[in-house]
Amino acid sequence: MGLLAPWFLAASLTLALPLWLHRLRTQSAEREKFSSTMLLETTEQRVHVRRRLRYLILLALRIALLALVALAFAQPFVERPPRQGLTGQNGSSFVVVDGSASMGRSGVFSQALAEVASIVDSAPAGVALQVALAAGPLRLLHEPSADRAVARRALNGIEPLPLRLDVGQLAREIGLHAASLPQPVTLHLVSDFQASAMPARFADAIPPGIARLEPHPVGTGLPVNWAVAFVRRAAHGVEVGAHAWGLTDGTADVELIINGESRGIRSITGSGPHLASFDAIELLEGENRVLVTVTANDDLDIDDRFHAVIANDPPSPVPLLTANAGGLAATYLSAALESGGEKNFEVKPMPLAEFDSRVLGRYRWAIVDDLLQLDSRLQGALREFIAGGGNLLAFGGPDGAVLDTLPIGGQRIAPAVLASRPDEFLSVGGIDARHPVLARTEGWHRLNVGQRLRVETAPHDRVLVRLDDDSPYIIEQRIGSGLLLTVLDALDNRASDLPVHPVFVGLVLEAANHLEGRATRMTNLVAGDSLLPGAGGGQIVAPDGSTLLALEATLRPRPVRLEAPGIYEVYAGDEVFLVAANVDPRESDLDPIDQEALELWRDSTHTAIAAATDGPTFAGPTRLELWPSLLLALLLVAIAESMLANHHLASRMGVSG
Amino acid sequence: MSERLPGQSAPRGLLQPEVLASLKNLDLVARSVVEGFLVGLHRSPLFGFSQEFAEYRAYAEGDDPRFIDWNVYARTERTYIKRFLGETNSHLMILLDVSASMDFGGTPVSKLRYAQFLAASLAYLANRQHDAVGCMIFDEDIRDFQPASSKAGRLQAVLHSIDRVTPGTGTSFERPFEQFRRHVSRRGLVALVSDFWCDTGRLLESVRPLAWQGQDIVLFQVLDPAEMAPGYRSNVLLEDAETGAAVEVTPEFLADEYPRKLRAHIDSIATAAAASGADHVLVNTGDSLDGALRKYLLFRQRRK
């Protein structure tokens, strides 16, 4: 609704009301005979002027009050004109050049720069130009300007970065930035248009606030690329995964370099995924710097080098207190802890009958496969061990229902529930996914529990896993300085299928890391990821030897973006560890989106903008609604009018003061 | 007319302006006022106006033979004049201001009408005390003049002059009083009835020569209640009755500042009167006339 709206015009007529009423009032000021006015002069004139002024102000306030109400009927707005002046009398052209790692293939980026230069040169006069580099966060290379030389100068020296282009994120950033540009905005996107850069939802690729999208594809042709996908430690050596795109019978050499020393070269042939094994590789104790190179005749070089960090720590001994050292429980636990290729823990079964509790002090944590087998002496010793800072992983099956309280933990035990039919088996109802033990385990919902030990948890117990009937299944309990992690299930594969379920391996491994106090950290990242050195601050040394944090910044925990591939040294408190960063593997897949999809994208952009603006023009001046300001002004005027009217009325009624 | 016993109070209702306003005949008004007033007075030698016997003196040529005590003549064969306490040989000149400002008011009577009542009552009272009575009607100039005389029928002439007045124009004391001084050389009482909306200094300049001439002067300042406490509740444009000048005034001024200025003005009139050896009597037209008459009698008594 605008200022010509019927309601506004009708409401405007009310403006005459105070004028008429005040005129009536003025006219009704009677002229009366008085015997003499000799005493009414001088002083009266001053009072009258003041009163007259107040009267006029009151009239103005009343008119303003009605005018504001009338304006409110009109729902006014201010059309904020698009930013013009220096730039953009005829809108703007926002040129975004893809600077991701994939643009680093031979000749493509220079082709992109030439395309940008062409766009700049052909821009109509009066159009504001701005060039930005898209890789990671959008990087604006200069301020909007109609001067083409400014845009051309901004192209000098820019190069592709080892980062990924996420078109979904780019569209959101462009949408935010476009609102500040002279309207309408034409987006020129110069890119290789990798299919892997597109978001999962096509709608997310449409930048809001853009009148027109002009894609400028570069690097057309069938790309050929080799890339290393991963490096991992195998049982007897190291395995390297590689991938080839666009080849039929090409060959590449994969070289494994550990701590600067070449450990071998493997040749792989043909397109698709490949696995190169390097056997009998001895690693140094601690962290090893691994570099894998691919030597091949391909288009993209930056993904031919892959950095990795492989830890080679001696396994930590873990005492397993068990009544049957050769039983199933010991087998299950040993298999779980020693799985995964990296042998971080070594299970040492210790028969309860021969166990000397004094040896507990040698270990960081221990395992009890059946709480019901512990005598009171050992219970006391283990409780003392936990209270002194040790940790314990314990299992307790449904046989414990004969007891009143859970050994060591002390929780009350309820009668056991025995499932009689398969459909009465319980499954997991919920897990505490924030807990480090469960953060990376999956598949709990497929667990079947027939019998379990039902306990009543104490207020300070943390239930990590609950069953369908809301009964606790795994409990974490703090005793003194240590932790007790109790699984209310037996390791005999009778009460539940936990020991043979895949989730068991993850549970035991993560619980081991948690109870060992070994922080699970990401040692292999992609360029562009952020890394937090430590909760108490720290320092990061880049692959080129430079420090990423200034001295004062080392005291504050702040995530740092790793932009270059390579191996970073992280100093966090007393700890020093390595982190490898590589180009996002999705950048290696150079296949572009097909032409049909590209045109659909462009057309969809137009359609979306037209729908959003509800008119033939894609973007116009932005509207600033005035009703909040009107309401505030209305309130202020009403208060002022009331106060003044009260004063005026008091004067008229002869009320003093 | 039934005689009231001494000490009985006067029927105040008869003296109220609203009652007098209903009487068309000014003679009747004056008679009603004075008779009612006198009936209600206490017997007191201070007032000196009662018909109580005072002394005898020998008849002299020119005395009114009506006052010869024929009983004494029968016993002594000498003619004596019976004299009373209130009897004097004074004469009263009533100077009535009929300027336009005197036409203000109306509830129940205007200032002018009230002043007519007062002047007539004074004339009647003086006549009843055998004083010679005259009057001068004036605004900016003399409108009518009746020289003081105690001859029979003179009162009716005075009352007639007072009764027929109409509101005049502005107020000026200089010219009328100048002429008055030229026409009246005998000493006596002068009752000046006006609202005194004038400059105090000029009033003093006009009144003072009369005092020097030997006149005993009393100033009756007649003001209407609406003048003394205007009851306007909103802005009002007040037009001066004499000059036509208009001033819009606010209620707060009329409620606060105007009464102070009016009080100061009245005080200045009283001060000017005192400076001229005159008496000042403030008369509210909302009150009965007996107050003014009482003040007159006190004044007359004091001057004897």
How does pLDDT run across A619-633, given as a tens digit for each residue?
Answer: 455 667 787 888 888
Across the interface, do B247 and A39 touch by the CB < 8 Å criterion? no
Tens-digit pLDDT profile for residues A293-328? 988 888 888 888 899 888 887 778 889 998 888 888
Residue A51 in contact with partner chain B when CB distance is under 8 A? yes
Confidence band of A340 (pLDDT split at 50, 70, 90): low
**Angstroms from A13 CA to nearest CA on chain B:** 29
Fold entry, domain B91-303: Rossmann fold (3.40.50)
The predicted structure's pLDDT at residue B54: 57
Across the interface, do B251 and A652 touch by the CB < 8 Å criterion? yes
Residues of B in contact with A34 (CB under 8 A): 104, 227, 230, 238-241
| Choice between A48 and A107, residue whose per-residue pLDDT is larger | A107
The predicted structure's pLDDT at residue A383: 92
Which residues make Cβ contacts (< 8 Å) with residue A543, sequence separation at least 6?
A307, A564, A565, A566, A567, A568
The predicted structure's pLDDT at residue B135: 92
Determine the residue among A25, A40, A46, A47 to mutate to test chain B binding: the one whose Cβ has the most chain B Cβ atoms within 10 Å.
A40
**Angstroms from B185 CA to nearest CA on chain A:** 33
pLDDT > 90 in chain B, percent:
14
The predicted structure's pLDDT at residue A41: 57
Nearest CA in chain B to A656: B252
Residue A42 in contact with partner chain B when CB distance is under 8 A? no
DSSP of A568-611: EEEEETTEEEEEEEE--GGGT--PBPPHHHHHHHHHHHHHHHHH
Across the interface, do A654 and B252 touch by the CB < 8 Å criterion? yes
Main-chain phi, psi angles of B243, to 5 degrees: -95, -20
DSSP of A266-311: EEEESSEEEEEEEES----SEEEEEEEEEE-S-S--GGGEEEEEEE
Residue B244 in contact with partner chain A when CB distance is under 8 A? no
pLDDT at A538 over 50: yes
Q: What is the rounded average pLDDT of the residues A319-346? A: 80
**Angstroms from B236 CA to nearest CA on chain A:** 5
**Angstroms from B112 CA to nearest CA on chain A:** 11
Secondary structure E strands in A439-594: 452-456, 462-467, 472-479, 482-487, 524-526, 530-531, 539-541, 560-561, 566-572, 575-582
Residue B175 in contact with partner chain A when CB distance is under 8 A? no
Residue B174 in contact with partner chain A when CB distance is under 8 A? no
Window 63-102 of B: residues touching A by CB (8 A cutoff) are 101-102
By C-alpha distance, which of A104, A97, A134, A141 is closest to A119? A97
pLDDT at A474 over 90: yes
The Cα-based distances of A176 to A80, A98, A210 in angstroms read 17, 18, 10
Q: What is the rounded average pLDDT of the residues B250-273? A: 88
Residue by residue, what is the 3-state secondary structure of B163-222? HCCCCCCCCCCHHHHHHHHHHCCCCCEEEEEECCCCCHHHHHHHHHHHHHCCCEEEEEEE
> Between B197, B227, B246, which is nearest A31 by CB?
B246
Q: ipTM value, please give it.
A: 0.75
**Angstroms from B237 CA to nearest CA on chain A:** 4
Residues of B in contact with A30 (CB under 8 A): 236-237
Confidence band of B99 (pLDDT split at 50, 70, 90): very high
pLDDT at B73 over 70: yes
Residue B260 in contact with partner chain A when CB distance is under 8 A? no
Confidence band of A26 (pLDDT split at 50, 70, 90): low
Within chain B, all domains assigned CATH 3.40.50.410 are found at 91-303
The predicted structure's pLDDT at residue A655: 42
Confidence band of A393 (pLDDT split at 50, 70, 90): very high
pLDDT at A422 over 70: no
Least confident of A334-338, A341-345, A398-402, B289-293: A341-345
> Between B101, B237, B245, which is nearest A35 by CB?
B101
Q: Which segments of A28-101 does DSSP mark as H helices, in order?
A: 43-74
Across the interface, do B252 and A656 touch by the CB < 8 Å criterion? yes
The DSSP bridge pattern shows strands A128-134 and A92-98 to be parallel
A472 touches A445 (CB < 8 A): no
Tens-digit pLDDT profile for residues B205-256? 888 888 888 888 889 999 998 888 888 877 788 888 888 888 878 787 888 8
pLDDT at A652 over 60: no
Tens-digit pLDDT profile for residues A188-227? 989 888 888 888 777 788 888 888 888 888 887 777 888 8
The predicted structure's pLDDT at residue B47: 38
Residues of A in contact with B227 (CB under 8 A): 34-35
By C-alpha distance, which of A498, A608, A569 is closest to A212? A608
Question: CA A205, CA A223: separation in Å to the nearest integer?
Answer: 24
Least confident of A97-111, A195-209, A273-287, B56-70: B56-70
Confidence band of B97 (pLDDT split at 50, 70, 90): very high
Least confident of A353-362, A551-560, A605-614: A605-614
**What value does the mean pLDDT of chain A take?**
80
Residues of B in contact with A47 (CB under 8 A): 250, 252-253
Residue B261 in contact with partner chain A when CB distance is under 8 A? yes
- Number of helices (H), then strands (E), belonging to chain B: the values are 11, 10
CA A314 to chain centre: 35
pTM greater than 0.90:
no
The predicted structure's pLDDT at residue B12: 43
Q: What is the rounded average pLDDT of the residues A492-507? A: 83
| Choice between A214 and A402, residue whose per-residue pLDDT is larger | A214
Q: CA-CA-CA-CA torsion for A355, A361, A365, A367, nearest 10 degrees?
A: 10
Strand partners, A232: A239
Residues of A in contact with B235 (CB under 8 A): 29, 48, 51, 652
Confidence band of B18 (pLDDT split at 50, 70, 90): low
Main-chain phi, psi angles of B270, to 5 degrees: -65, -40
> Between B104, B233, B253, which is nearest A33 by CB?
B104
Nearest CA in chain A to B237: A31
The predicted structure's pLDDT at residue A3: 56
Nearest CA in chain B to A651: B252
Confidence band of A382 (pLDDT split at 50, 70, 90): very high
Nearest CA in chain B to A33: B239
pLDDT at A19 over 80: no
Confidence band of A386 (pLDDT split at 50, 70, 90): very high
Question: CA A311, CA A578: separation in Å to the nearest integer?
Answer: 9
pLDDT at A650 over 70: no
Determine the residue among B247, B258, B261, B267 to mutate to test chain A binding: the one whose Cβ has the most chain A Cβ atoms within 10 Å.
B247
Residue B60 CB coordination number (10 Å)? 8
- Over the range A119-147, which residues count as b (16 or more CB within 10 Å of their CB) and which as e? bbeebeeebbbbbbbbbbebeebbebbbe
The predicted structure's pLDDT at residue A366: 93
Across the interface, do B250 and A651 touch by the CB < 8 Å criterion? yes
Domains of chain A: 6-76+626-652 (no CATH), 92-222+591-613 (3.40.50.410), 225-312 (2.60.40.10), 316-516 (3.40.50.880), 524-582 (no CATH)
| Choice between A562 and B129, residue whose per-residue pLDDT is larger | A562
